[in-house]
Amino acid sequence: MIVPPLLRDVLRPHRVTMALILATMLVQIVMTLAAPWPLKIVIDNVIGTHRQFFWINAILSQLGSKAHIAAAAGIGTVLIAVTAGAAMYAGNYLTEGLSQRIGNDLRLRLYQQLQRLSLAYYDANRIGAIVSTLTSDVQTIQGFASVSTLNIFTNTLTVFGIVVVMFLCRWDFTLIALTVVPFLAIFVLRVNRAVRDAVKEVRMQQSDLVATLQEGLQMIQVVQAFGREDHQEQQVRNATTRTMTAWLQARRRSSVISPVIALAVALCTGLVLWRGSLLIMAGVMTIGALTIFLAYLARFFQPVRDLAEMANTFAQVAVSLERVEAVFQADEVIADRPDAKVPPPLRGGITFSHVAFGYRPGVPVLRDVTFTISPGQMVGIVGPTGSGKSTVVSLIPRFRDPDAGQIFIDGVDVRDYRLRGLRSQIGFVLQDTVLLRGSIRSNIAFGRPDATEPEIIRAAELANAHEFISRMPDGYDTVVGDRGSTLSGGQRQRIGIARALIRDNPILVLDEPTAALDAESEHLVIEALERLMEGRTVVTIAHRLSTLRSADKIVVIEDGVVSEEGSHGDLLGRGGTYAQLCRLQFEGRAARDRP
């Protein structure tokens, strides 16, 4: 059997355990082979007086009387069972340990790979489906890698062992048993292919179901707000029904195997029974010999049946391996160039040079973006919604790479820096702040795990968050819900700002950092940022242009290009898009402020 490379990698560290397990299995096989002998001895040497195998007779003659032989046969049966039991216990224990460790390894490796994959991968794949691979597919592979591979191994060995012993007993009867094997093999392979297709469908439907459930629960508030519970339930109903149908289809295909094997067993047994009784009547064969042969025949078909029924398992594992391998082979990776270097402490000069980028081929978002930010400058990025502002700033820490053009930091293409080093020097406040389930303290310290308590408090103060945190009953120990759900939007955003500030980076990128704040809080946060900006480059996206009043430069992104660039005063004087936006906002505010 060809072991897929992935499986081999996962199994390699466990060679010793596997060898031990194998040893326990060999003991079990030998005991399986020995089990029918006491019965034969009793039938032939105690009840009857046949002398078939001379070496048995030699041993038995040492025992003396028939009563002793009978007792020895009884004790032998028990000893065989005890030995087999002990081996089984050790084997099961080791196998379970192996299985768990393989599962752990694989899950971790997958997670490492998933963390390396860029956002483009997550645009194309549903989180629920990924989770399903991390859980179900890993479980299938873990079960197979340990239990099934060893089962296959022992079953195959057992079959060979039994064939050898059967040959020694009655080669002619053995041939009868063997004639059905090739037909069975062809049949099982045929069925296996069909089962595999069906199982693939099952796994697809299952992960679709998990994704549907996950998405529905994640947006439960929207579902309830819009009264779309029935619709969501229907979605889930459809998904579970499809999963069930796929399962039944797969089961129907694999269920034909057992009856066919049962038929083969009955055919062989019938033939042997018929021939055997004729031979016994002719005095050519002993009753014990026929009994033991029939016992072996039954034992021969058990592993054969197990192997055949593995068709289902094989199919599942093949599909799961394929899915896991697809994650490992995903090429949406922002990789370090081979000669990439660890960036020195950055000064923060950023240059975009003819940058083009699109999320999908043929749909450019940025067509030709060129602008320069000097170290220590504060630059505002402005533009209509959907014009690509968030996209522009996401290219700086290489969340995605441009399709054309280059981005330089301190004169070096960002792709020539090691990714981790580059990102470790950029603080980022994302457009929607997402927090971890955990304490507020741990959420702020997420930006810099070694931050001390005073540093955490200082960052919270700068972000104008300290006050509301202190007012909470548990203060910094307050636990926030998934994604920060138990906080208000403005609170979440201020913690997001504190999380970025605590990193103390030379480059700070803020995507609408104050969108969720009231005018008062915004004012405080902006003031704090302005104080903090000394010696740092700050790139901030803002819809509310008042936040940009002290910006050194404003870059207007429109239709995929930089349409205007200059200081607040310059752009107002030019009377273009920026001036128009300013006028609209000013008029809007004036109208609101009117009594």
Which residues are at the interface with Mg ion (CB under 5 A)?
390, 431
Whole-angstrom Cα Rg for the chain: 36
Interacting span for ligand ATP (CB under 6 A) from 78-86, 127-135, 320-328, 382-390: 382-390
Taking residue 397's Cβ as centre, other Cβ atoms within 10 Å add up to 20
Q: Minimum CB separation from ligand ATP for residue 562, in Å?
A: 13
Whole-angstrom Cα distance, residue 290 to residue 40? 9
- For the chain, first and last CA: distance in Å? 84
Whole-angstrom Cα distance, residue 494 to residue 115? 26
Interacting span for ligand ATP (CB under 6 A) from 150-158, 266-274, 380-388, 409-417: 380-388
Instruction: Tell me which residue of 255, 137, 242, 260 sits closest to 195, measured CA to CA.
Output: 255
Query: Rounded to 5 degrees, what are φ and ψ at 204?
Result: -65, -45
Q: Minimum CB separation from Mg ion for residue 431, in Å?
A: 5
Cβ nearer to ligand ATP, comparing 105 with 511: 511
CA distances from 400 to 16, 121, 193, 276, 395 (A): 44, 11, 40, 76, 6
Binding-site size for ligand ATP (CB under 6 A) equals 12
- In the range 400-439, which residues lie near ligand ATP by CB under 6 A? 431
Q: Minimum CB separation from Mg ion for residue 138, in Å?
A: 36
Whole-angstrom Cα distance, residue 29 to residue 154? 7
Residue 103 interaction partner, one of ligand ATP, Mg ion, none, beta carbon < 5-8 Å per kind: none
Q: Minimum CB separation from Mg ion for residue 443, in Å?
A: 22
Residue 196 interaction partner, one of Mg ion, ligand ATP, none, beta carbon < 5-8 Å per kind: none
Query: Rounded to 5 degrees, what are φ and ψ at 513?
Result: -70, -20
Length of the chain measured in residues? 595
Q: Which listed residue (225, 385, 473, 592) binds ligand ATP by CB under 6 A?
A: 385
- 438 forms bridges with which residues in the sheet? 480
Cβ nearer to ligand ATP, comparing 128 with 143: 128
Cβ nearer to ligand ATP, comparing 129 with 515: 515
Cβ nearer to ligand ATP, comparing 4 with 576: 576
Q: Minimum CB separation from Mg ion for residue 390, in Å?
A: 3
Alpha-helix runs per DSSP H in 282-375? 287-329
Which residues, other chains included, contact 155 with Cβ-Cβ below 8 Å and sequence gap of 6+?
303, 304, 306, 307
DSSP state of 335: P
Residue pair 537/507 in contact (Cβ under 8 Å)? The answer is yes
Q: Which listed residue (388, 402, 484, 560) binds ligand ATP by CB under 6 A?
A: 388
Told to check if 386 binds ligand ATP by CB under 6 A, we report: yes
Told to check if 369 binds ligand ATP by CB under 6 A, we report: no
Four-point Cα dihedral 41, 46, 49, 54, nearest 10:
40
Instruction: Tell me which residue of 119, 124, 125 sits closest to 399, measured CA to CA.
Output: 119
Told to check if 160 binds ligand ATP by CB under 6 A, we report: no
Residue 391 interaction partner, one of Mg ion, ligand ATP, none, beta carbon < 5-8 Å per kind: ligand ATP
Largest CA distance in the chain: 121
Interacting span for ligand ATP (CB under 6 A) from 8-16, 145-153, 378-386, 490-498: 378-386
Cβ nearer to ligand ATP, comparing 11 with 369: 369
Whole-angstrom Cα distance, residue 100 to residue 92? 12
Whole-angstrom Cα distance, residue 509 to residue 427? 6
Q: Minimum CB separation from ligand ATP for residue 224, in Å?
A: 26
Residue 62 interaction partner, one of Mg ion, ligand ATP, none, beta carbon < 5-8 Å per kind: none
Whole-angstrom Cα distance, residue 509 to residue 426? 7
- In the range 122-151, which residues lie near ligand ATP by CB under 6 A? 123
**Tokens (6 digits) for 557:** 């992104």
Q: Minimum CB separation from Mg ion for residue 568, in Å?
A: 21
- In the range 303-362, which residues lie near ligand ATP by CB under 6 A? 359
Whole-angstrom Cα distance, residue 536 to residue 425? 11
Which residues, other chains included, contact 561 with Cβ-Cβ below 8 Å and sequence gap of 6+?
366, 367, 368, 369
Whole-angstrom Cα distance, residue 48 to residue 350? 99
Q: Minimum CB separation from ligand ATP for residue 381, in Å?
A: 8
Q: Which listed residue (103, 383, 490, 496) binds ligand ATP by CB under 6 A?
A: 383
Cβ nearer to ligand ATP, comparing 403 with 477: 403
Interacting span for ligand ATP (CB under 6 A) from 42-50, 153-161, 383-391, 529-537: 383-391
Interacting span for ligand ATP (CB under 6 A) from 157-165, 234-242, 327-335, 387-395: 387-395
Told to check if 390 binds ligand ATP by CB under 6 A, we report: yes
Q: Which listed residue (365, 373, 378, 429) binds ligand ATP by CB under 6 A?
A: 365
Taking residue 363's Cβ as centre, other Cβ atoms within 10 Å add up to 7
Residue 560 interaction partner, one of ligand ATP, Mg ion, none, beta carbon < 5-8 Å per kind: none
Interacting span for ligand ATP (CB under 6 A) from 12-20, 142-150, 381-389, 495-503: 381-389
Q: Minimum CB separation from Mg ion for residue 526, in Å?
A: 18
Residue 383 interaction partner, one of Mg ion, ligand ATP, none, beta carbon < 5-8 Å per kind: ligand ATP
Told to check if 391 binds ligand ATP by CB under 6 A, we report: yes
CA distances from 286 to 55, 460, 472, 474 (A): 17, 92, 90, 86
Whole-angstrom Cα distance, residue 422 to residue 408? 12
- In the range 67-126, which residues lie near ligand ATP by CB under 6 A? 123
Residue 362 interaction partner, one of ligand ATP, Mg ion, none, beta carbon < 5-8 Å per kind: none
**For 302, what's the count of Cα atoms within 13 Å in the CB-facing half-sphere?**
15
- Which residues in this chain contact ligand ATP in the complex, by CB under 6 A? 123, 359, 365, 383, 385-391, 431
